[in-house]
Amino acid sequence: MPASPSVSLSTFGKLPCAQCGASLTAPAWSEYLSAAQARHLWNCDDCGYEFETLVVFATDQKADIAPPLAA
């Protein structure tokens, strides 16, 4: 059985809507500002609320930004 990672940087599928609390699966749009920052635009299907989040990666970690592999 493979070991589970102990730390995950992904918030996909874990972020609640800031207005109604509904579970959001993935951002509608993402912009990589630099190797250390990414901005996400979220849209709630339940209430229509839109908001942005900014992800800041630690500067001592190597950030390899690549598109995810298709399942």
Q: What is the pLDDT of residues 21-42, one digit of tens each?
A: 999 988 999 999 988 899 999 9
**Which amino acid, residue 53?**
T
Instruction: Tell me the pTM.
Output: 0.60
pLDDT score of 45: 93
| Choice among 9-13, 50-54, 57-61, 64-68 with the minimum mean pLDDT | 9-13
Task: Determine the Cα–Cα distance for residues 46 and 59; give it in Å rounded to an integer.
Answer: 36
pLDDT score of 6: 47
| Choice among 1-5, 52-56, 66-70 with the minimum mean pLDDT | 1-5
Task: Determine the Cα–Cα distance for residues 26 and 62; give it in Å rounded to an integer.
Answer: 23
DSSP 35: T
Task: Determine the Cα–Cα distance for residues 34 and 14; give it in Å rounded to an integer.
Answer: 24
